[in-house]
Amino acid sequence: MSRARATRRERLVVVSNRVARGGNAARAGGLAVALLDVLKRSGGLWAGWSGNVQDGALGKPRMSAQGDLSFATLDLSQAEYEEYYNGFANRTLWPLFHYRIDLTNFDRDHYQGYLRVNQRFAHAVAPLLGDDDLVWVHDYHLIAFGEELRRMGVHHTLGFFLHIPFPAPEVITTLPVHEVLVRALFAYDLIGFQTESDLRSFTDYVTSEAGGRVLEDGRLEAYGRVVRAGVYPIGVDAENIRRFARSRDAHTHGARMERVLAGRLAIIGVDRLDYSKGLPERFRAFDALLRRYPENRGRISFLQIAPPSRTDVPEYKDIRQELEGLSGSINGEHSEFDWTPLRYITRGFSRQALAGLYRIARIGLVTPLRDGMNLVAKEYVAAQSGHNPGVLVLSRFAGAAHRADGALIVNPYDIQGVADAMQKALVMPLDERRERWRALRDEVMTNDVNAWRDAFLAVLREVDARRPR
Ligand code: ADQ
């Protein structure tokens, strides 16, 4: 590294759909939680949607700051909110990338709205960029953002990270505009995926659909451009979660829950209410557990926390109704006057309170039908006590399952199989629980959110160092 490069002051600019300040990060979901953890340490600029929808003048971004971290937030108009956010992002890309072609709704107006918001965000962010900024764009909402910056003549090194799965070519090609989207990804210099299989799907697309090729050094060439693509599994702020789990709030919630449990074993699920999380299947698996292993009646309690998200999207109303029906019928069928088997709660909790609840639960039940990574699985592991750890029951379709020696890996479509895994966890001897947990803990502590950031940024800096200035 030359002296000039060593002394220049780099700033990290993160661009994501949602900018979450402090307390509202948890409600905004996994990405906001992770980005806040990253930015709190490094400082920099975080740009994106404020979360507000209004039809007045949209204008320039609103600037604010918290310590070393600056925010540039933009509102969306009602039409943009419908077309870009509810429409193309959440009714087209989200279901499609989670392999739900049946729920994927393609509308050209929504797609145009999506492009317009990407354009508007690019025009708002470009003037804020300093010469030495490293730009890191996040997730499926902003695939077209980088291309727009390039059109404006921005030559910065641009990184992109996809938090959700990248589907197999057979699936993504059902989208009429698949080629335009993948081509837009080639405006970035580095594209990060959660797992090897996401990278494989992307590489397959590039070679089989885009007429591109893999170069000797592993970079991908297509559409007249060369990009780097790699696997950077996201982690959690494990050290902090361990601290949270010992906090007063954690203790209060854990103790309250223990009073209700009265010696029963707890099973916990924590998810944004989303059809990708496999919640109906999970409820059915719990029902199957009580039927197949009746000795558990009156002796276990399942707590499912699932705050509603994307409530303006019809498919999310449907899943909510389905779950209310299922939880009612499971409790109606199995409850005793002194025992409620399933508690289904839709409110948010502080991260400390969640850590306290994770810590007392014998099973962390994480069974998405498809998930980019799933931070809850890692949070559950981080929050356990080494003396009496619980067991992680984890779907093979969560990105987290790629590096989860120690978890009981299940297929969420196999209701009886999930019930059997829960039974195995309930009767598992302490020694085995400890051994499995240690393996998981080592992974979660080592590959935490800071390691994820460092790994991605190290490669982005490498690319940046070769950029002609
Ligand atoms: P999400 O789909 O939002 O994230 P996930 O990774 O599980 O899913 O993260 C959810 C986050 O919200 C967790 O940190 C959890 O603690 C928090 N949370 C959930 N319910 C809560 C509640 N009731 N109260 C407080 N906090 C709550 C997307 C992708 C994932 C990927 C992440 C990060 O879909 O696959 O892991 O981004 O890349």
Q: What is the CATH number of the domain that holds 358?
A: 3.40.50.2000
Kindly give the number of the ligand 1 atom that is closest to the alpha carbon of 379: 16
Are 261 and 307 within one domain?
A: yes
98 is catalytic: no
d(CA 5, CA 425): 53
Are 191 and 84 within one domain?
A: yes
Are 400 and 420 within one domain?
A: yes
Q: Select from 372, 375, 373, 404 the least CA-distant residue to 391.
A: 404
Are 379 and 460 within one domain?
A: no
DSSP 184-214: HHTTSSEEEESSHHHHHHHHHHHHHTS--EE
Domains held by the chain: number? 2
For residue 36, the CA-to-ligand 1 centroid distance in Å is 13
To test the pocket of ligand 1, the residue of 376, 444, 449 to mutate (highest count of ligand atoms within 8 Å of its CB) is 376
Are 355 and 430 within one domain?
A: yes
At 220 the three-state DSSP class reads strand
Instruction: Find the domain containing 78 and state its range.
Output: 5-235+449-466
Q: Treating both helix axes as pointing N-terminal to C-terminal, what angle do 430-446 and 238-245 enclose, rounded to 10 degrees?
A: 130
Residues ≥6 apart with Cβ < 8 Å to 7? none
Are 242 and 386 within one domain?
A: yes
- What is the pLDDT tens value at each position of the chain, 469 positions in all? 444 444 457 899 999 999 987 655 555 566 787 788 788 878 899 999 999 999 877 778 999 998 889 999 999 999 999 999 999 999 999 999 999 999 999 999 999 999 999 999 999 999 999 998 999 999 999 999 999 999 999 999 999 999 999 999 999 999 999 999 999 999 999 999 999 999 999 999 999 999 999 999 999 999 999 999 999 999 999 999 999 999 999 999 999 999 989 999 999 999 999 999 999 999 999 999 999 999 999 999 999 999 999 999 999 999 999 999 999 999 999 999 999 999 999 998 999 999 999 999 999 999 999 999 999 999 999 999 999 999 999 999 999 999 999 999 999 999 999 999 999 999 999 999 999 999 999 999 999 999 999 999 999 999 999 887 7
Are 453 and 403 within one domain?
A: no
d(CA 425, CA 422): 5
Are 216 and 272 within one domain?
A: no
For residue 203, give Cα distances in angstroms to 102, 173, 210, 219, 298: 25, 14, 10, 10, 51
Are 415 and 368 within one domain?
A: yes
107 is catalytic: no
Cα 318 from chain centroid?
22
Are 247 and 209 within one domain?
A: no
Are 198 and 242 within one domain?
A: no
Are 142 and 18 within one domain?
A: yes
Gyration radius from the chain CA atoms: 23
Encoded tokens for 429: 């001897």
For residue 34, the CA-to-ligand 1 centroid distance in Å is 9
Cβ–Cβ < 8 Å for 405, 443: yes
